Each structure stands twice: as structure tokens, then as C-alpha cells.
Structure 1
Amino acid sequence: MENRQLRLRPFLVRMPSGDRYWTVLNEDELVPVAEVDEFLRHVRFGRDQAETTTATYAGAMKLFLTWCAHSGRDWRECAGRLGSFMLWLRHARLDGGTVVAGPGCRPVRGPRRVNTVLAAVREFLKHQVAVGNAPTAVLGMLYDVADDRGLPVEVRGEAVRPGYYARARHRAAVPDEPVDRASDEEVLALLRACRTARDRLIVLLMARAGLRRGEAAGLRREDIHFLVDARHLGCAVPGSHLHVVRRDNGSGAWAKSRRSRAVPVDFLLVQAFDQYAVERAGCAEAVLGDVVLVNLARPPVGAPMKPGAVNELLVRLSERAGLERVVHPHALRHAFATNVVEAGGAIDEVQQLLGHASVISTQVYLHPSPQRLRAAVERVGSLIEEVRR
């Protein structure tokens, strides 16, 4: 690690079983970095995380190990110097094996990207402590112990005494920005720009059911229960709904949560699926496939759609609709969650619909819109009028 010109790159490993994960390759020796490779295999197969998670972690580890080599330190010595690593991350640009940085240069990574890299590094260092490759003192360099008295009541529960949790010591301050949600007008514009039933179904799966792009691309026919009574299928969930199930689809589509969930759907989504089923039946290559969303025009025709294709579709639809910005998949999911909240949905309902393991993740959707704030003030005014009467 002491070579200042250490050349590393993320590398996709294809196992004989067909499973895949990303690692970090030392290009000078053409071998994976041993500790990182073991960690990423653990993430992929031991923790049952998505292939895309290992890709994100591999990119982060490349940056971390490059900084370690550039500073002339072994990675075991760097847990207490993550503040310096954060500064380096903001300003260092990698040009091949050379680090280009200097005083006064513009930041090349924003706070969200810095935090993503730091999260991966913390997971790596925690794992090395667990397997005995790093001293336990490293954990004290990574985390402070904090209590939950500052957390919302919904998160703390009914416990009288405060609970304690580990809080990351190093974290870049992220500007408090409004929730990036698609407006109803943008959703309608995207739907009008769709030229196929499949494209309309994709938009509605995210905007009306709150699915992530990987969850939508990973749907199989067995997950679709668009019937009044699905008990003959062995399903006790009433009404039309779909199931989000975590499985490896081979296309990179992956449900983030390990817990399966059932999501109720409305008539618009059922109708869109019926129209797509007719369209899909006209593709001979897709007839026998089990994955719902498949390629109908681009090669390989009939193959399952990849999650990245959903982003590409929304770019085209946003341009075709004449929108001022590109609506990303997560903005549609935010739109669904915000609409549920503004229609009176409770936080536990939103949490279940979105598949969040913790209610903390759901809190971001509870920021009231200006319309909700205006309505709240007007409701107070109406109560005053009632009192005057």
C-alpha cells in the first residue's frame, strides 16, 4: 500500500455458479486486493446484498486505498484520520494512477457522495475488526455513542429510559433540501409521452405503487395478484395487489429489503398491466419468460429489463414531454409516498408500503408541502370562526 502510484480499479467477478460480485483489482499485479475481496464476497453472499451494493463499495474502496497509498500509510492506520480522507475526497481527482489535487481547486465530490464512500469504508473497517484483521480500538475511532433523546417519538417508542446507539464520527454536512418528488403534473406529462403500454406500466409502478426501479424490474408473473380473491393462489391478501420479493434475477434487479411485502394497487395500474400483457403477448421471445418487464424493441428482445434501462427510459420520456428537468425513478417513488401522506396516510402505513425496515427512513417523506402548511393554517382559522359563533 505504500506505492504512491498504486493502480486500482473495480472489477466484476463472475463465479462458476453464475453469481456475480464486484471487487477491487490491483492492475499492476492483476490480482484482487485480498482483504477487500474477502469483505466484498462477505457483503454479497454472507449478507445477501445486491450486486450493485458491491459495485458501490468497490468504487469506495478504490478511493480509500488510493488515499492510503498516497499518504504512505497502511489502511489499518487510517481509521483515526478519516477527517483528512474527507478533505481529500472532496478535492482529489484520479487521473489514471495519479492523484490530481491542489489548494483552491474546486470540489469534485459533493457531500452525499463523500458520505456514501465513508459508509462503505466504515463497513469495511468494522468487518476487519470482526475477523481479527484490525484492533477493536478502530471502532472507537469510527463511532461515538449517543442516546436517542433527540430522535422523534415514533422512533424512540414508549421506553422511559433513553436508548443508546452508535453515531458515525465523520459525516459531511448535507444541505437541507426539499424532497425531490415528481409533481402530479410531471407524472401526467410522462404518461402522455409514453408510446407503449410497457412504458406506462413502468411509470405507474413507481408513481402509484412506490416501487424502486430494481423492484419493478424484478417483478415476476407470480408476484402479480390482480384479482378480487387470490386465495386459490395461496395468498390471503385481499384485493388487487402485487408482491415485492427479494431474489436474484440475473439482470441486476434486486429488492432492497429482505422482507417481502404486498402492495395494494388501484384500477389505473391494473388496467395498465392488462394492456401491457396484450402487448407482451405479441413478442414471441417473451412468451415463456417469467419476468414481467422485458425488452420489446431493443436487443436482446424478450430479455428481462435491467434497472439501468428504467433510468434511460425516464430520460427519454422527460425530454419527449418537454420537462425542465429529468425525472428520476426515486422522484416517482417520493411522489407516491408524499401523496399517501397528504391524503392522510399514517407513518406506519407509508413505512409498510415503501418497505422500509426502520421508520427513520420514512421520516424524509413527512416534510409538508406549502399546500399542506397553508391548509393547516386555514383549518385553524375555521376553528376560530366556529368559536365566535
Structure 2
Amino acid sequence: MTVVPPVSVPVPLPPLAARARTVGGSPVRDILAVTARPEVINFAGGLPAPELFDAEGIAEAFRAVLAEDAGRALQYSTTEGEPVLRAALAGRVSARGLPTDADDVLVTTGSQQALSLLAAALLEPGDTVLVESPCYLAALQAFGLAGARIVPVPGDEEGVDPVALEELVLRERPKLLYTVPTFQNPTGRTMPAGRRAAIAEVAERCGLWIVEDDPYGELRFEGERVPWIASYEGAAERVVLLGSFSKVMAPGLRLGWLRAPAGLRRACAVAKQAADLHTPTVNQLAAARYLAERDLDAHVARVAGVYRERRDAMLAGLADALPVGSTWSRPEGGMFLWARLPEPYDTTALLPQVVRHDVAYVPGAPFYAGTPDPTTLRLCFVTQTPREIGEGLRRLGEGLRAV
């Protein structure tokens, strides 16, 4: 007699972690995938202009590093970062008014990693994080993935309202406030000095970490530089300052850094050991070589000059492109411009129609931790030439008028 073995029923695999199931992907990345056709003029991305990269200068730095000490450049490195790069970064931060030693700096794989490290070092599931409204999308992702409860702080065209901040701190007992005070993503706004000082005072008085993200601050077109929140009296021991080479050198290098008090910096280093051991050695050494032999400030000034022309081209065409009653920001630097259409426009619902006209933007709704404003949208003005910007705005106007 033939014995038929029982049919085995596969046991389902364990589920994904709750945080992986509940935190979505980046809407900007989703939009870029949909609008990847070359004929689309894409104002949705946050991409620096590739034709302005100092490709030869960066290539020469890599060649020199590999020719002189390939063994070191291709070897493992310390978690905190290559000493020569940390010293160069400390020098740049000190020159901008915040005394900093190399030991104060942790090199990260892009400043986005710094957010993940801080979330790992500071946040327990259920902890409260305060953010701007609207807020940088990837920060919302990083804190959400850590299981944080994210609460927006009311503000205005100058950023976070210090009075509202203090009320929320006293009521919610958050771990930290996350802010991009200079040329903010997505709005392009800059927090004035008085507002920064008031926020630093609230943090000191109430016991609050501030994460001050500054990826765009060097891209100033006009006006005077505003000091970092970290530079105000009493703030340095409670402010984590983040920086990046992505917008001023090249994002493909994936080089960022954080400046933090010793205890928190050590905790971030432990988190980084678990994440990736260290940022690629060859990239760090090449960046340090570039800083030693090239004038990064002069390069950034040239880039900012081109970006100013592109901002002006976008500002010049918005009145004809957007519906009557629309308003928009006029950033003094950075990469982004924020617009608000009159009600009842819904920029999320309108996007597919606009894309059919071969132009794209990012709807404002995903940037809000709280109730979104459906009439808002973000435009990046740095990736296209003035002529392309003019054509893109013409297409945008056609798409919006086809409602």
C-alpha cells in the first residue's frame, strides 16, 4: 500500500515590525519615479544642479588620495570619522562663530543619517518630538520610524512661535524640537535672530533638546547671515547642529556631520557602529583633501549666484502661472519656494492633471505632521535653467487652468 504523506501547510512568516508597517515612503521619491520622463520639467525634486558640481576638483582629490595612500583610503576607519576631516569641519564651524574642536564632531553618511542616529540615541517609542509646520519630510520619516509621537508647533512666516513652543513643551514634555531655521525645506523661510534667541531661551528654561539642521545655510543670495541657534548663550550644550556637503559639494559623496555635547555624541557614535561602522574612508579623505586644496567658499558663492538667477526667474513667472489670489514666499537663499493657492484648490488632487502637461511639483500636504493645508505646494528652483523654468511655469499655468 502506498502511503501518501500529509500535505504540509506553510507557516506564515513573522510580520514586519509595526513601525515598518505604519511609516510610509517618501512622497517626493514617489513623484520623482512617476515623472522620470525626460520631457517633464520637474520642480518636485530637491536636487542640486549637476552641471555646477566641481567634478574635476573632486576627481582630483580622489586621485591624489588614492595615489598617495590607497591602503589607508580603502581601509576601515574610526566610527567618529577621519581626524583630518573632523578638524577641517571644526575649523569651518568655528570660523562661522561657534567655537568647535574636532572632538565635537561626528562624521555621518549624509546628514539624513544624523537624524536616524539621534532618533536611536534619544527616543523611546511613544516619546514626543516637536517639529515645524510644515516640516522636512525625511525628518518626519526618521522620527516616525523610531516610534515617536510627532507634534507640530504653530508658527508663521518667521518660523516656530516661541510662546506656542513653551506652551507645548510644558504640556507635552517632548524630548526634542527639530528645526531647519535657515532657508527651510519646504518653505524657504529663515528664522530671524530674535526668534532664534527666544527659542534657545525656551530650551534652556524648560529642558529641551534642539536639533538644528543646516543643509542650506551657505546658499545665501542676499541679506545678512543669521547666527546658528547653537551659538546663543547657554544653547551649545542642548543644541545638536547638523551639516552636510550634499548641497555645497555633491550629494553623491554622502557626507554629513553633527556637532553635539559629548554624552549625546558618544551615544550617536554607538548607534552609528550598529548602523554602518563608519562613513566611507575614501570619501572622507577626498573631501578633506578638497577642503585643503580648493576654495569651497568661492565655489559655493558661484553656485549661489546661479541659484539666485534661477530663483528670480521663478519669481518672475509665478504671477502668470498660479491662479489669482495665490501667494508665495521669496527666499533669500536655499533651493525651495512655497506657494499657497486660493481655496478650494487641492494640489494633491491636481498633480496628475498637471503632470499630463509635462511639469511637476510636490503637494504641500505630506510636509505636515498635523492637519495639512491642501492648497500648498513646494517648487524647487535650482535644477533647471531660467529658460526651462519659464517653460515649466507656462506648462504649470496650463495644467492649473485646465481644472
* Same fold flag (TM > 0.5): no
Query: With structure 1 as the length reference, what TM-score do the two structures score?
Result: 0.24
Query: Whose RCO is larger (CA < 8 A, sep 6+)?
Result: 2
Query: With structure 2 as the length reference, what TM-score do the two structures score?
Result: 0.23
